[in-house]
């Protein structure tokens, strides 16, 4: 079985890095996978990829050691299974607001007897190895997103769901749900208090805690308080920042 680099980092007590893909380009995915990040996430919720794009982007990563993740469009059985059959080793599921939502995610992400995932991982076996059936449930990472006041309120019940590996904090939606302006690089003390509390409670439950960060300083802060999967930047964000900086330098 091809290893999950994020799990390997966790087993060593280290934080893993993540790069985010909002575009639908397999070429950008291929380049990103060579940057050296531990994992690459295809964003099927707010990004531009459909199922066909997602497959091509995951295929483009296969020559590297970067672990492919997918942020699902929704907590939908069909997409959960399509992402896994394409070879995703990690699922990030938006808007999980209850234990029932988390149980639904696990049900279709795990094979019997732990779930109800249907068999047919043709491309996933090619990517992972012939022992896919016996090893995948111990390899794939399942992360419900905590990004609403309702999800935060139900956090302990969500963490108790068997089959999830941790939680993933979406700071923009969490800020919005708590009554503040959405910001990936939030500086709001009340939002940070919630983020720190989520991380603390996840670790106490023996689960991973992941987060999307809008800046390096935020990523370092998250790492320092114990988050162990950290999205550092995204393709469109990085391209925009670099292009603007280049133009500004030229025009000086």
Annotated catalytic residue: which of 46, 104, 114, 122? 46
Catalytic residue check, 46 = yes
Given the structure tokens 């959960």, which residue do they identify? 80
Distance CA 159, CA 145 (A): 11
Q: Beta strand pairing status for 166-169 and 141-146?
A: parallel
Burial label, 146 (beta-carbon count in 10 A; 0-12, 13-18, 19+) = buried
Distance CA 74, CA 214 (A): 23
Dihedral sign (CA 143, 144, 147, 149): negative
Residues with catalytic annotation? 46
């Amino acid at each position: 079985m091809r290893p999950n680099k994020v799990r390997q980092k966790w087993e060593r007590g280290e934080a893993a890095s993540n790069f985010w893909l909002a575009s639908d380009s397999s070429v950008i995915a291929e380049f990103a996978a060579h940057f050296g990040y531990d994992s690459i996430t295809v964003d099927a919720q707010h990004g531009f990829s459909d199922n066909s794009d997602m497959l091509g982007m995951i295929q483009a990563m296969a020559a590297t050691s970067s672990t492919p993740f997918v942020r699902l469009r929704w907590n939908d059985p069909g997409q959960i299974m399509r992402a896994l059959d394409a070879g995703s080793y990690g699922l990030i599921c938006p808007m999980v607001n209850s234990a029932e939502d988390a149980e639904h995610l696990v049900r279709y992400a795990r094979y019997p007897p732990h779930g109800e995932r249907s068999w047919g991982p043709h491309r996933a076996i090619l990517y992972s190895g012939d022992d896919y059936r016996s090893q995948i449930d111990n390899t794939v990472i399942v992360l419900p997103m905590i990004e609403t006041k309702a999800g935060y309120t139900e956090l302990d019940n969500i963490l108790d769901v068997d089959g999830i590996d941790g939680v993933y904090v979406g700071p923009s939606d969490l800020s919005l749900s708590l009554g503040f302006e959405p910001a990936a690089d939030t500086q709001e003390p009340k939002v940070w208090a919630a983020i720190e509390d989520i991380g603390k409670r996840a670790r106490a439950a023996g689960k991973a805690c992941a987060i999307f960060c809008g800046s390096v300083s935020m990523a370092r802060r998250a790492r320092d308080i114990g988050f162990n999967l950290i999205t550092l930047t995204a393709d469109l964000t990085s391209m925009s920042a670099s292009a603007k900086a280049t133009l500004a330098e030229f025009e000086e």
